Structure 1
């Protein structure tokens, strides 16, 4: 190791970023890690262990890399899914440090599979980016809205000129005084698509500025809405809008969940629906974010999009001497190409589900993944509501999650 360069790094004469231009990826990682270890007085013996391609991830996924953080990976299932893209039994990879979560999901998978599987359907598939413009006044704002309405095809051509697969589906205007937000919505096929739609929208913005007397304030004006709780994603959708349901016989509920359909329906009503409404929540569910986060981490998704995945609505109601259960996710942002999906460990998890890489035709793998995640979230909801109805939650956490 170059001790002279190490001392410069520790003193700040050379930045962590600059080291990446001086050394190959492995040497730069080791030098940064040694500097951090010596500066902070911390022995960093665990984060140095990883098996993925450091050269690749430092080009595409991370800056100033010093190592990797390991998250335990469990599996739940098999989970029977009856979707338009996912059809079969799947073993669900869950990366988490929360004890009892995998066991709970596994129990939910067992309930669903014993009931013949979860029906899953996708009702919407759009990724959005919403720049904000400043007009001179509301007259200028109205002029821009009318211009967009009359020039959609030109905006579409400009945006799609930046991508092989992306397709601009709509541009929806929203106005606040002289501020105009244009919510561009795209089909991004197998990519989650945030980078794709950002680049495409930037190109379309140039056309807006060329032909309108307005100024661009920001390429994202928070009407997208990306990685933040927002009613617009619940109402209009973002990513995949997907629903999963199952009817569970009373005998299965009593045998596997040790409660009754009536108790589960009441827990869901008073907790997920009334309780969430009283709290002003955008998510009307028990713990959709738990399963989404664990699958996102395992499968190379952007964990920040869990905030949008948590906009889920869980319903339970008596049906056919049993219980009808559903979960609807209006804004599930997932993909099977790009981002963290190319990293070795995450690729293996995607391969477990049969969704790694681009689908044929394009878009089918990402939709298959969305259907599997929706069914897994339904499994998580069933298990937790069952535990609450049977008053088993604290016992499970005492045994498995301490």
Structure 2
């Protein structure tokens, strides 16, 4: 506990020496006053860390839930990052905005059931595969976990040697759903224990198939949380005036970068999606550790004819898109209710997880555009030096 009056930090009954700055920047008056607010989010609470937040935009988003221009808060201490994202947002908005669409919402948990050999495991696999297509299991989940719907509950069964993983996907609506889907996994384990006619030697709430907080091919292909696509057209005049390059040169560089990533076995086929994701997650009170899985994304640049007719190679506009299949984001629950995060989100006026997800997709694509432009024009190093050595 932090006792400002006595200027003492007490940990397990011992006085821990701290600098005088600790009382100004960590255990300041407001942080000590708000200790009860943080009780359910942070154990052994001793104060808060002030993380710098900047804004980018306005960013025009043409989504189903986010459909206007937004000024977007982003938290980072990397100099030049927000200047770059701002440039990308400016280019997107000048081109008419970024179109975003949500494909699915599905938070995952995958309990594992372990048997003595593959034959026993396969017998359980066949039972589970049939059982999970029946109404009984889904009814159990829906009755015990609020606002789940049958059409949005997805269950898949996988056998790996003597282990069987049952992947449960639920629509957690405006919450991230990581706790809720854990409860669903626990219910699945209890149901199997009660209804499987054979013996289940071992079972655990997670066997690694969920791939939480780490990047995997599963996040690129199957998706987790919000799965989104986003694209935009950057007219050649905008590309030249704001990004300082041409559509042809920019898409050529992006394709080279992507091919190199494929050669190296990269899972995230992007320039630096993690930067935008982490800064957006932190500013909005979402879990920055989810950046690991959320960056399993694919960026794509191409050339398009502005009129739909035949034009020369150097007279075309730039088409830019990104597929983000594992955006883990919420507008309620977790850290989203804490004071500073609520205040930061108020800059956007976004009220739902769907709206936040669509804004996030536009933000990440903004960063991709500007990053590739700075690399292609040879200004990347100078921009960082100039922004961080003033």
Please report the TM-score for the alignment, with normalisation by the length of structure 1.
Answer: 0.87
Question: 157, 161, 169: which is aligned to 2:143?
Answer: 161
Q: CA deviation at 1:49?
A: 2.6
* Displacement after TM superposition at 1:368 (Å): 1.1
Deviation for aligned residue 1:298: 0.3
1:39 aligns with 2:26: no
Give the helix-richer structure, 1 or 2.
1
Which of residues 283, 292, 313 in structure 1 aligns to 2:277? 292
SS in 2 for 1:328: strand
1:158 positional shift: 2.1
Q: Indicate conservation of the 8 Å contact 2:8/2:15, yes or no.
A: no
CA contact (8 A) 2:60 2:70 kept: yes
**Would the aligned equivalents of 2:114 and 2:201 in 1 still touch at CA under 8 Å?**
yes
What is residue 301 of structure 1 aligned with on the other side?
A: 286
Cα shift readout 1:302-340 (whole Å, capped 9, x = no counterpart): 111001111111111111211100111111111111000
Structure 2 vs 1, CA of residues 32 and 282 (structure 1 numbering), >3 Å: closer, same or farther? Answer: farther
Q: Is the aligned partner of 1:185 residue 2:169?
A: yes
| Cα distance, 1:274 vs structure 2 | 0.9
Pick closer, same or farther for the CA change 1:204–1:50 going to 2, 3 Å.
Answer: farther
Does the residue aligned with 1:340 lie in a helix, a strand or coil? coil
- Residue aligned with 1:293, SS: helix
Cα distance change on mapping 1:100 and 1:30 into 2, 3 Å: farther
Q: Any conservation in 1 of the 2:215–2:294 contact (CA below 8 Å)?
A: no
Aligned partners of 1:325, 1:222: CA distance in 2, in Å? Answer: 34
The aligned length equals 368
- 1:330 corresponds, among 302, 307, 325, to 325
Specify which of 31, 38, 62 is matched with residue 57 of structure 1: 38
Shift of 1:120: 0.4
Matches within 5 A, 1:248-327: 248-271=234-257, 273-320=258-305, 321-327=316-322
Gaps spanning 5+ residues in structure 2: where?
Answer: 306-315
For residues 167-220 of structure 1, the C-alpha deviation after alignment (integer angstroms, 9 at most, x for no partner) is: 461221111221111111111111100001001210121011122221343211
Corresponding residue to 1:111 among 91, 101, 116: 91
Matches within 5 A, 1:91-130: 91-130=71-110
Distance 1:343 1:397, change over 3 A: same
Residues 266 and 227 of structure 1: is their aligned pair in 2 closer, same or farther, counting only changes over 3 Å?
same
Query: CA separation in 2, counterparts of 1:245 and 1:30?
Result: 56
